[in-house]
């Protein structure tokens, strides 16, 4: 897989029958929606896809469905296959490779807090598989932050590491990573993991975003990132105010993906609720978020 760039959607997992079953038919429709609206790639089974509460069997089945649905559309598939167990991450990643995914998104092992040596060993094991890897640094959920220095050291050890999803919200560290990245013989693609920080991250060397908002506004996110990458900064700044406000709203009423699912359900995409322990938004929260969504639609025409 070449450089990763553009708007990449962190796909929600749609549920039906009181969230007991995955809605594979709707997954197919959502992939088609993204193929028609400028999305560059799809990430199934990430944070937004509720990976902690889907079974291993569902996890693999979702990846297979997305790969199947994306075939022939030009969409790339970056499958979420990380785990805090190296053995399980290896199994998921191997299955994703066999299914035909273009790359894997590997979340930094969570809860057990590996040292830098443990992180290097973890990614070195995954590097034994023949699938490009994207390191997912999200300390707010994992409990550890991978420093720019350690990220580059992992990249030097792992020839299959092609990108980083930067979700630590620390622009100083991301800037340092972008500077160190230039020293690599094959620089990593640096992707914003936060819609609201896409513009500043791309300004220091990023190439795109793995986006929550793109689930419902794929064309907006594609246009936004396209203008940034084409250095049309006046237009990018105009769009940034829209993206910033909407993306902050999506995360202001509860943990992701509670907000985006509420908006999608209102907009006619019956993606269901979230699996416990996440819940649906309260009615008052939903109404407030829907109001913001309706105002955004008016702006977009």
Active-site positions? Answer: 136, 165
Q: Strand (E) positions, 18-99?
A: 21-22, 41-43, 76-80
In three state form, how does the secondary structure of 232-269 look?
CHHHHHHHHHHHHHHHHHHCCCCCCCHHHHHHHHHCCC
* Nearest alpha carbon to residue 163 among 188, 129, 126: 188
Partners of residue 163 on adjacent β-strands: 134, 189
Q: What burial letters (b/e) apply to 145-172, b meaning 16+ CB within 10 Å?
A: ebbbebbbbbbeebebbbbbbbbbebee
* Nearest alpha carbon to residue 36 among 214, 195, 269: 214
Between CA 91 and CA 62 the distance in angstroms is: 15
Between CA 249 and CA 50 the distance in angstroms is: 19
Contact 97, 127 (CB under 8 A): no
């Amino acid at each position: 897989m070449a450089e990763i760039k553009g708007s990449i959607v962190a796909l929600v997992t749609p549920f039906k029958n009181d969230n007991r079953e995955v809605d594979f038919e709707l997954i197919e429709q959502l992939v088609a929606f993204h193929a028609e609206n400028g999305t560059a790639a799809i990430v199934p089974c990430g944070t937004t896809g509720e990976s902690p509460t889907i079974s291993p069997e569902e996890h693999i089945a979702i990846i297979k469905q997305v790969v199947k649905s994306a075939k022939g559309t030009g969409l790339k598939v970056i499958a979420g296959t990380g785990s805090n167990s190296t053995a399980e991450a290896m199994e998921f990643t191997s299955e994703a490779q066999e299914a035909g995914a273009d790359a894997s998104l590997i979340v930094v092992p969570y809860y057990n807090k590996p040292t830098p040596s443990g992180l290097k060993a973890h990614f070195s094991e995954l590097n034994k598989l023949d699938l490009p890897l994207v390191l997912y640094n999200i300390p707010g959920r994992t409990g550890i932050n991978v420093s720019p220095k350690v990220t580059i050291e992992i990249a030097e050890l792992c020839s299959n590491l092609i990108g980083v999803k930067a979700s630590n919200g620390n622009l100083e560290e991301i800037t340092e990573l972008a500077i160190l990245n230039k020293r690599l013989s094959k620089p990593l693609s640096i992707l914003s993991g936060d819609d609201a920080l896409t513009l500043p991250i791309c300004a220091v060397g990023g190439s795109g975003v793995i986006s929550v908002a793109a689930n419902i506004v794929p064309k907006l996110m594609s246009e936004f990132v396209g203008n940034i990458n084409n250095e049309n900064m006046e237009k990018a700044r105009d769009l940034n105010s829209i993206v910033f406000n909407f993306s902050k709203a999506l995360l202001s009423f509860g943990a992701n993906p509670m907000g985006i699912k509420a908006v999608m359900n209102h907009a006619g995409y019956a993606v269901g609720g979230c699996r416990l322990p996440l819940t649906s938004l309260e009615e008052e929260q939903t109404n407030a978020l829907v109001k913001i969504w309706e105002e955004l639609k008016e702006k977009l025409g």
